[in-house]
Amino acid sequence: MKVYISFDMEGVSGIVDWEQCTGSGPAVSMGQELTLAEINAAIDGALTAGATEFVVNDAHYRMQNLDPRLLHGDATYISGAHKPGYMMEGLSADFDVIFFIGYHGSISGVPSVMSHSYSPSVFTELRVNGIEVGESGVNALAALGYRVPIGLISGDCATASQAKPIMGQAIMVQVKDSITRFAASNLHPHRAHKLIAEAAERAVEMAATIALPAIELPATITMSFQTADQAELASWIAGVERTELRSCTIHGQDPLALYRTFVGVCYLTRQAQGR
């Protein structure tokens, strides 16, 4: 049984400010420790259910947030920001189930701690087949392309509600209630770890029965940008169509091709940002 884990940090219990996940010093050290503990809890639960192999992909910020020596389950750790698969680097068809740990709500949705959609300086909204999605919804295209089910998603309430239309059979673990974009009521980490471990165990046990992401093909990703310049930049990429002053779409039959094109848009527009 092979488990793929893509992790972010904003959805981890106890993290409520950028300084805890993009800064330096004691604040970010604590954020990294909290994140590592939730990932290890997921691995421990999956081990209990018989999982034997783990790949952990660092999908946050500069994507080098963990000490790999401290990962449970002898997990392989994928780190570094320049990855063609981005938040889903390392996924392949030989995995049995996917976990999304520490995910968060979209910037266009209800209040969610540190909500954004890939880059808060670029995207104002993302939709897949007309459905407003967070990062999990776009990443689900990679899961669909490799035909690997998503079994577990952890984060806040917005994370769960935005994932449900596409990943309805995934076990949703809510580790905090967002109050505003920079405040939340957080479960005690020990409680969060227990819930994540239990959910990971169940997700592994039921992996063979979990449906693939509910994304009808051909599919369309609709991207709304902060500026018209960013939409213009995105349209330079093959397969991206400029539809409005600040909007573009990617349309196609192949979910992996859609996802890879979107990753290209992310990298190009992030370089320009607001300049």
Tokens at 150, concatenated: 């998503």
As a whole number, mean pLDDT of residues 162-176 equals: 97
Packed helices 26-48 and 189-205: angle between N→C axes, nearest 10 degrees: 40
Separation between Cα atoms, residue 206 and residue 261, nearest integer Å: 32
Closest to 186 in 3D by CA, of 160, 154, 156: 156
Q: Which residues lie across from 61 on neighbouring strands? A: none
Contact between residue 156 and residue 112 where contact means Cβ atoms under 8 Å apart = yes
Using the predicted structure, report yes or no on whether residue 97 has a pLDDT greater than 60: yes
Interior angle at CA 265, CA 125 and CA 218, nearest 5: 75
Q: What is the mean pLDDT of residues 256-272?
A: 93
> Quick one: pLDDT at residue 273?
65
DSSP 6-75: EE-STTSTT--SGGGTTS-SHHHHHHHHHHHHHHHHHHHHHHHTT--EEEEEE-STTS--S-GGG-GGG-
Tens-digit pLDDT profile for residues 33-70: 999 999 999 999 999 999 999 999 999 999 999 999 99
Encode pLDDT of 68-87 as tens digits.
999 999 999 999 999 999 99
Q: Note the pTM of the prediction, 2 decimals.
A: 0.97
Instruction: Tell me how far CA of residue 268 lies from CA of 143, 146, 261, 265, in angstroms.
Output: 23, 25, 11, 5
Q: Measured at the alpha carbon of residue 99, what is the angle toward residues 121 and 265, in degrees to the nearest 5?
A: 30
Strand partners, 178: 184
Mean pLDDT, residues 110-119 taken together: 93
pLDDT tens digits for 200-241? Answer: 999 999 999 999 999 999 999 999 999 999 999 999 999 999
Query: pLDDT value at position 24?
Result: 86
Q: Which 3 state secondary structure label does DSSP give 92?
A: coil
CA distances from 260 to 39, 91, 120, 172 (A): 26, 13, 20, 26
What is residue 190's predicted lDDT score, i.e. its pLDDT?
98
- The amino acid present at 64, given as its one-letter code, is Q
**Is residue 164 scored above 60 in pLDDT?**
yes
